[in-house]
Amino acid sequence: MSLIGNINKAFDHRIRLGIMSILMVNEFADFKTLKELLDVTDGNLASHIKALEKVDYIKIEKSFINRKPNTKYSTTLLGKKEFKNHIKALEHIINKQ
């Protein structure tokens, strides 16, 4: 196995890495919070959320708060496992140098 063999391509992009990092330390985050913390546009954030949802790493819960739509995101068990493995792979690369 190559040095980068365990790097998960789903987390290649800094925005996806940021989304997962935020969701790993918080039970959930809403769209507005993710957007503000990551300093990205709506469209950019939405496309990266969709990519993580497609591989079942995050789940989406839609509701209404005071008649306004609210979308919350959280990690799935698979997402947590894969992200931890990704971080371990990065640590392995760093410690090899």
Containing structural domain, residue 87: 9-96
Within a domain: 27: yes
Reading the block at residue 62, the tokens are: 């839609």
pLDDT of res. 97: 58
In tens, the pLDDT along 27-75 reads: 999 999 999 999 999 999 999 999 999 999 999 999 988 988 889 999 9
Report how many domains make up the chain.
1
pLDDT of res. 20: 97
Within a domain: 2: no
Within a domain: 4: no
Pick 52 or 96 by higher pLDDT: 52
Distance CA 23, CA 78 (A): 13
- What distance lies between CA 18 and its chain's CA centroid? 6
pTM for this predicted structure: 0.88
Distance CA 84, CA 82 (A): 5
